[in-house]
Amino acid sequence: MSFDTEITRDSDTLVGPLRAPAQMLADQEYAGHTSVHDHETAAKLGLAGAPIEGPTHFSQIDPLAVERWGREWFEHGCVSSHFLNMVVEGDEVRAALEPVTATLARIGAEKADGTPVLTGTASIGREDATELDERRQRGLADPGRLHIVDQLALGMTVTVDAVVTMGFDDHNGSLYPFTLSEKLAKITERSSWYVADGDSPWGRPVVPTEMISVIAHRSNAHFPVRGPAIGLFIDLEVRFVDGPVFVGQPYLVEHTLVGIGQSKRVESYWTESTLTDAETGVHAATVLLHQGVFKASYADYPT
């Protein structure tokens, strides 16, 4: 057994069941203030509700990818996603995976009413172009005049001083105010590979894909972004280079600034984070995150 997810087929497309993801970031804090996941903060920004964190939806992709590629998904898989519409607690979401080649598939998720939540790719290995390859290139263009991320420069690096470990009961700090055990109690897709007494083919429990970005970004190491201001995830890619990422294993984390941009409502930047096994030196995973900062949330933003 790996997942208990009931998967159906629509021709070659794998389709998961409708799920209602749980909001677990209502108490998130960073830089001394609440986040967009707080209802009051979201309302001030004109949002219809406090969005559920984007990586949560990756858990609905995992069983589809394992059905397609087996254990190799957690060893050399890559999920690459552009977020389209926010999901609030109570919304139901269904994920789908449509094979394109032996190593590449299109992925998507939508609400029960058909509203698209995300679009992207799932793949095995490093030969296929991902959803974010082209989008990332836009972050290399001149973004114009900036006021919130104006101190950033391509190539900047930040190394997390201490090793990072995710045990079942380790608290993940103010950015992610829950433990892995608490996440597994509410995760949309349960797997025997995630638990201590399970049947992981690697002989030890693995960290769910949605929690890899938590390991990468839970520390207080950050780039110099002006604030206070409220941010959100725009794009996210998680790639297992030589995985899995294991529960309780220490990792070294380094962040590199690989893109800067802006749109009408946000200024944004791209961070590539590497997770390296602190004991073996193996490059376990890479997280590519494109995050925006709402211009309207920054008090000194020019009109």
Instruction: Tell me the per-residue pLDDT of 198-228, one tens digit each, with 9 for 90 and over.
Output: 999 999 999 999 999 999 988 766 789 998 8
Stretch 112-129: mean pLDDT: 97
Domains of the chain, residue spans: 8-297
Residues in the chain: 303
State residue 35's pLDDT score. 46
State residue 30's pLDDT score. 52
Q: State which amino acid sits at residue 30.
A: Y
State residue 185's pLDDT score. 94
State residue 256's pLDDT score. 97
Q: Compute φ and ψ for 209, nearest 5 degrees.
A: -55, -40
pTM score of the predicted model: 0.92
Rounded to whole angstroms, how far apart are CA atoms 38 and 52?
10
State residue 86's pLDDT score. 87
Fold annotation for 8-297: Thiol Ester Dehydrase; Chain A (3.10.129)
